[in-house]
Amino acid sequence: MCGIIGYNGKQNAIPIVINGLKNLEYRGYDSAGIAYFLGNDFKIIKEKGRISSLEEILEDDEPTLCIGHTRWATHGKPSRINSHPHQVGDITIVHNGIIENYASLKEELMKEGYKFQSETDTEVAAAVIDSLYKKTKDKLLTLEKLNEVLKGSYALLILFKDEKDTIYALREGSPLIVASNETGNFVASDIPAILEYTKNYYLLEHGEIAIIKKDKVTFIKDKKEITKELLTFKFDISSAKKEGYPHYMLKEIHEQPEVIKNFIEHYLTNFNLIPDISKYEKIHIVACGSAYHAGLIGSFLIEEYGNMEVSTYVASEYRYKKNFLNEKTLVILISQSGETADTIASLRLAKEQKATTIGIVNVVGSTIAREVDEVIYINAGCEIAVATTKAYTLQVLTFSLIAYKLGLKKGIITKEKQKEIEEGYKLLPSEISKVLKVDYKKYAARIATKKNVFFIGRLIDYCICEEGSLKLKEISYIHSETYPAGELKHGTISLIEKNTPVIAVITDSKIAEKTISNIKEVKARGAYTLVVKRKDIPLHEDTFDDLIEVEGLSDLVLSIVTIIPLQMLAYEVANILGYDIDKPRNLAKSVTVE
């Protein structure tokens, strides 16, 4: 969603801020803007559309302090007037998050005489700060009081007109990091914005205020100066660069053998880091989007290998339903960003109701990582493409290891099987490399011309299809639906006509025959069938038009190998159609609003 960067130092701040905004483009945005001081006043330059449109209207000023923002519209359409920064009176701010009580605040502020130009909640927040500051005449007091007035989540950079050498930063919900190098100090919503300058950063916590001067950063909490731990981003800057690939998504797909190899080595040698979930009476998995799909597979693996019932829920539903939680319930939250609003709300609800919580998270120090009782980091490095690939497979792999550990503990997995499973983990990276060598362009060409695509599979194969279908629709804008293969004939089969693409997944040999019958049903009605199947499952050539085969020594890893062709297919279809693969329309990398 929105991105924030600020710089205060010795160098021209505009190129640094613009560069930072470009490195945050992946978060998704529809307008961008910057603010700095010029003479006695603020200079604000903002524009709807891409950062390149903003660059076209930049002026030749060379301020050494500047704040910038990319906006993903929530309150009010994408437009210049709604984009950040917003100035009200003597205050200019950029903001990530949502001010939930902005409408009532706006009414009160209008009574005080404030007039608003935009439809945004951010302009209201700026007016709140201006009004409080005019009353208190004390900046720290004003910022401390904000917490009482603003409801919702926010990360704010604030410029006060009467203190032209300082950026103030604070957060409640949405993340902010602060960093320094020999030229000056940075503040940003996310690590890629500053990674070119330094790998060391401070994570601003709720209730803290950062006062960022040219040569010094001061952190304040409860009116007192505090010292904070300096953290280091442990991945190489290459994880945030395209490294010769045309798109981040393609790069991240190809990184999977490597990150998976590292993950397996790390967690198999430190198996104690994989939680033992045997003591819980009830297990819920909660997540959104692809992470939810990883959770669906997780429940299959835990049920199959650990013989334990697991339910997986979409976080935006879970947070509002009756969940019957207690001390004997384990709630596993999955999130690449660790900042997804609905997943955070579900986590807090689970904690309130005394459940134990585990987070499967990529972004170190993110809200979910910090608030859960136990965190498992998937260590994917930066994932920049909006459509997740490597984080998703590592999430599935985490569940695979949890299920494996449970199966061992309960004696369900025999010594013989254990050897086979461990061998399967070791071979997984090379199995993925093998399927990455397939030429997916020819299959993609048959799909790229179509308006609708169907994915079918049963049980775990259905869950794999859900993720394949999401990948396709989010980046190629082709409508696609997933069905449990046996369900088609209850209505949806009426949509199958000549050449309708049906992509079928068969990896589970127990129900392969059933899925094959369903493929025959759609084939008989003229569908183009592309089958992705486990190599040793027999399939007559009349059943498919195209066939992609995958191998994996153990069923605990097969779903991971099988998603790779579907990721590649989605990528190649979007590539043929010429879409902006890394930044699909309307989407954001980190969904910090409900």
Residue among 470 and 574 whose Cβ is closer to ligand F6R: 470
Determine the interface stretch with ligand F6R among 1-9, 82-90, 132-140, 282-290 (rule: CB under 6 A). 282-290
Cα distance between the two ends of the chain: 12
Residues across the chain: 594
3-state secondary structure 185-217: EEEECCHHHCCCCCCEEEECCCCEEEEECCCCE
**Which of these, 265, 275, 67, lies nearest to 158 by C-alpha position?**
67
Residue among 252 and 508 whose Cβ is closer to ligand F6R: 252
DSSP secondary structure code for residue 230 in this structure: P
Quick one: the chain helix, strand, coil %, rounded to 5? Answer: 40, 25, 35
Residue among 194 and 315 whose Cβ is closer to ligand F6R: 315
DSSP secondary structure code for residue 537 in this structure: S
Q: Does 591 bind ligand F6R (CB under 6 A)?
A: yes
Token pair for residue 32?
């961008």
Contacting residues for 593 by C-beta, under 8 A, at least 6 apart:
1, 74, 97, 98, 341
Q: Which of 291, 522, 539, 566 binds ligand F6R (CB under 6 A)?
A: 291
Which helix (H) or strand (E) segment holds residue 251: the answer is helix 248-254
Find the shortest distance in angstroms from Cβ 462 to ligand F6R: 17
Q: Which of 83, 166, 256, 290 binds ligand F6R (CB under 6 A)?
A: 290
x/- letters, 328..367, toward ligand F6R (CB under 6 A): -------xxx--x--x------------------------
x/- letters, 300..329, toward ligand F6R (CB under 6 A): ------------------------------
Q: Does 387 bind ligand F6R (CB under 6 A)?
A: yes
Determine the interface stretch with ligand F6R among 229-237, 253-261, 284-292, 483-491 (rule: CB under 6 A). 284-292
Residue among 295 and 501 whose Cβ is closer to ligand F6R: 295
Q: Does 92 bind ligand F6R (CB under 6 A)?
A: no
DSSP secondary structure code for residue 411 in this structure: T
Find the shortest distance in angstroms from Cβ 446 to ligand F6R: 23
Residue among 308 and 349 whose Cβ is closer to ligand F6R: 349
Q: Does 461 bind ligand F6R (CB under 6 A)?
A: no
Find the shortest distance in angstroms from Cβ 254 to ligand F6R: 17
Contacting residues for 547 by C-beta, under 8 A, at least 6 apart:
530, 531, 533, 539
Contacting residues for 59 by C-beta, under 8 A, at least 6 apart:
43, 45
Find the shortest distance in angstroms from Cβ 569 to ligand F6R: 14
Strand order of the sheet with strand 177-181?
A: 41-48, 31-38, 65-71, 3-9, 184-188, 177-181, 200-203, 231-232
Residue among 167 and 291 whose Cβ is closer to ligand F6R: 291
Find the shortest distance in angstroms from Cβ 360 to ligand F6R: 9
The beta-carbon contacts of 558-561 under 8 Å, at least 24 apart in sequence, are: 558/507, 558/534, 559/297, 559/301, 559/396, 559/460, 559/463, 559/464, 559/507, 560/260, 560/393, 560/396, 560/397, 560/400, 560/428, 560/432, 561/428, 561/431, 561/432, 561/435
With 0-12 / 13-18 / 19 or more C-beta atoms within 10 angstroms meaning exposed / middle / buried, residue 171 is buried
Residue among 13 and 291 whose Cβ is closer to ligand F6R: 291
Q: In angstroms, what is the C-alpha Rg of the chain?
A: 25
Active site residues: 2, 589
Determine the interface stretch with ligand F6R among 188-196, 286-294, 509-517, 542-550 (rule: CB under 6 A). 286-294
Q: Which of 388, 518, 575, 592 binds ligand F6R (CB under 6 A)?
A: 388
Residue among 340 and 357 whose Cβ is closer to ligand F6R: 340
Q: With CB under 6 A as the rule, give the number of residues binding ligand F6R.
A: 15
Q: Does 474 bind ligand F6R (CB under 6 A)?
A: yes
Q: Does 567 bind ligand F6R (CB under 6 A)?
A: no
Distances (CA, A) of 517 to 43, 545, 573: 67, 15, 28
Q: CB count, 10 Å around CB of 538?
A: 9
Find the shortest distance in angstroms from Cβ 340 to ligand F6R: 3
DSSP secondary structure code for residue 275 in this structure: -
Q: Does 296 bind ligand F6R (CB under 6 A)?
A: no
Q: Does 64 bind ligand F6R (CB under 6 A)?
A: no
Residue among 32 and 470 whose Cβ is closer to ligand F6R: 470
Find the shortest distance in angstroms from Cβ 289 to ligand F6R: 2
Q: Does 289 bind ligand F6R (CB under 6 A)?
A: yes
Q: CB count, 10 Å around CB of 97?
A: 27
Q: Hey, which residues does 43 pair with through a beta bridge?
A: 36
Residue among 343 and 398 whose Cβ is closer to ligand F6R: 343
- Alpha carbon 197 to its chain centroid, in Å, reads 24
Find the shortest distance in angstroms from Cβ 362 to ligand F6R: 8
Using the Cα atoms of residue 246, residue 249, residue 252 and residue 257 in order, give the sign of their dihedral. negative
Determine the interface stretch with ligand F6R among 59-67, 142-150, 289-297, 555-563 (rule: CB under 6 A). 289-297
Distances (CA, A) of 371 to 67, 232, 364, 500: 29, 20, 12, 46
Residues that bind ligand F6R (CB under 6 A): 288-291, 335-337, 340, 343, 387-388, 470, 474, 590-591
